[in-house]
Structure 1
């Protein structure tokens, strides 16, 4: 729902409203009087957390440009996630009472609220809503910060009139299934589902890393740093499709190899499992940036939120998938590995966005159609047969 709200009311309001929601619910959990009350507050807390994560990702991707956008969409958001992941066991180690631990976490959330006066609304979103003057004001302010000169008129009047007309057409989640976006949406959803299932499945397996749960959690978080650096470098220099396919293979192959490791070499099995997590973590980071680049501005947050919702089904089934080892020890690894190989094949049909500007409408999204997808379109086949 947050993606739809963000495309309707703006990235910035949704970002800060959900930060407030998360902070209030974390604080309220301190005073929980029952397990039911605690769980309900935790559920609402989760709604706020993933919503502000997606809103911040899209806002940054739209405000920043070129290599800085790639840096923010990969290292910026994901390093922040990994740093918070590592801080949690450190907080918990020194604050053993769960009420005081939640109180400390709520203070961290409240510290972000003054950023309202520093973070601008997305000029791209404002333009998509016909609010050209506000978009110009933000661009001029950014130019002033960077000591650059701007023309008197940044966006032409014709652009203003065109945008104002386009605003009358409101987009919703059903537009993701239109002919221009349907194939991309289905493939991105499948790939995101697989990567998230693999990431959380192997993350939930972290108690095997160390007998101390605090150390296990810390190691699992620390493994993510090299994965995020790799994804950033891949996004800078390699095609998006190739990078995502590669991360899926790196996640899948170790899961198949684990079955060949003798039981006495447990550390080798754990190393292969962490290599698999490295692959899925890299893919997760890349899909954040890739998804934001695939969709046009009026639908970008809705698309990111919707495909993110599908991906979270992967995190929901991950614990149940791990329980399948009661029937056969390696069954979870086989399922995740097979699903990853299938998703890698599907990812070949995604459009390539490396070096391309962010699409502002469906027509620009259509022009970015992937080569493989183009080859199998009925129109192309018909022309080929006609020529033959």
Structure 2
């Protein structure tokens, strides 16, 4: 009986210790905030899609390095990525999976076709859509659970037109990609160019995400003797279009849609010389504002030999702002409450989390940012500052 009593006391002590350990572990347990991503991780736009994801994951790692408490619970952030190959139909399937299987309250999509596909159901699904596209229609449609991350691209058109006409001439050949975003850019660009006295001498949109040889389309455009070429889609195929234009004898300037990045294109074409006379969005690595410089240095430490692009930095800031909005709202699941705090979250972002100088959101949910244009002159990228792009929209 004594042996049995001794055994019972040991059992009770062990059970008590286990209970205390379990309780202590429970107090420290972390819930998970899942932010979904559906974008191109394969195919012609894979570099673009991976850049977006890189910025999101960098932000998540920084958030997870510090305690995060929302509504009395401890959390960590997890980015859940799915490849949609730049196909809007795949995007819709992916986002439904993210919402239903992974219970994501917020999902980021980096192309307009996919954004429009998700807008068909995200409000009913109570899902905050973080739209990485500068297409103005994304927020003009009145979707109450959509944030447009880049500024409206139409703010670039007038300065692009003025600069290129003054330097190169008034005849432009339009060789942009054929996806929805590039079509919208072309539709907005044409009346501005023609209204300034310019002429469209060739129009030949091409499938940037499916082709790697653009000689036939570029050749027809060169034969029209343009002073300027209007090009753009993802960086790599855009660079190939520029390269083939130079090989076919084109000596004018390039207007580069904001999806493509001058610095990434330079790596494909062998430096800035083939892009001489181009205008586009200033690469973040060439931006000398203190927050941009500090972010570039942090990114290079994490990714040796690689510079951050605009899509990396803007989506980095957006993940930080989304989690900050959750803290302000006191919820990680109520997309409507989180959306209501996004304006405050963006305007109160610490400078180190805001390398693109986002001032906040306009009345429709698009960002207002202080933007710099980049021009390639004498083998260097030079900047032109545009203050508070889209502030009046």
Q: Which structure shows the bigger proportion of residues in strand conformation?
A: 2
> Which has the larger share of helix?
1
Question: Normalising by the residue count of structure 2, what TM-score does the alignment of the two structures yield?
Answer: 0.28
Report 1 or 2 for greater relative contact order, CA contacts < 8 Å, sequence distance ≥ 6. 1
**Which of these two proteins has the greater Rg computed from alpha carbons?**
2
The normalised TM-score by structure 1 is: 0.28
